[in-house]
């Protein structure tokens, strides 16, 4: 069995430190939260800074117990929350592989798309197809 809902060590867990001042019924991670971005990452090249804030709207995150193991596989954790939670992951060998636990589209506005969305579209254009 590849999936066991009763496992004692799930890979994805309920957010461990929920936002305390969120509206009733809102996800555990809701609103703008700080992220520390690794300077040697694609995310840093896109943002051009190591301290960012992003809009979250989620209930789950990567179990921190697996972060070291995941890093050993080549999937780099390049953005961390205040308590060391994985917020951005990248695959360095890939020309453009970046995943986030936040939703960049929530920060996009008409005429001012989120920097990650712009960078992805530029990568598609520059690579002549899906990066």
What CATH number did the domain enclosing 22 receive? Answer: 3.40.50.880
User: Is 117 part of any domain?
Assistant: yes
pTM of the model: 0.84
**pLDDT tier at 106 (50, 70, 90 boundaries)?**
confident
Range of the domain at 73: 12-127
Q: Are 108 and 116 in contact (CB under 8 A)?
A: no
Q: Are 90 and 20 in contact (CB under 8 A)?
A: no
63-82: b (≥16 Cβ within 10 Å) or e: beeebeebeeeebbbbbbbe
Number of independent structural domains in the chain:
1
User: Is 64 part of any domain?
Assistant: yes
The stretch 105-117 carries a mean pLDDT of 91
Q: How far apart are CA 127 and CA 113, in angstroms?
A: 20
User: Is 7 part of any domain?
Assistant: no
User: Is 5 part of any domain?
Assistant: no
DSSP letters for 33-53? EEEEEPTTSHHHHHHSSSEEE
Compute the mean pLDDT over every residue in the chain, rounded to the nearest whole number: 85
Mind listing the pLDDT tens digit for each residue in 12-66?
A: 877 766 566 666 765 566 678 899 999 999 999 999 999 999 988 777 888 899 9
User: Is 43 part of any domain?
Assistant: yes
User: Is 50 part of any domain?
Assistant: yes
């Amino acid at each position: 069995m590849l999936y066991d809902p009763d496992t004692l060590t799930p890979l994805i867990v309920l957010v461990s430190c929920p936002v305390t001042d969120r509206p009733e019924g809102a996800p555990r991670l809701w609103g703008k939260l700080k992220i520390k971005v690794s300077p040697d990452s694609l995310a840093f090249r896109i943002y051009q800074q190591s301290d960012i804030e992003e809009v979250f709207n989620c209930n789950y995150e990567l179990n921190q117990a697996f972060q070291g193991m995941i890093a050993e596989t080549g999937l780099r954790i390049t953005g961390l929350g205040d308590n060391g939670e994985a917020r951005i992951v990248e695959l360095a060998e890939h020309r453009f592989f970046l995943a986030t636990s936040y939703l960049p589209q929530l920060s996009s506005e008409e005429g001012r798309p989120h920097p990650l969305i712009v960078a992805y579209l530029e990568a598609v254009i520059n690579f002549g197809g899906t990066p």
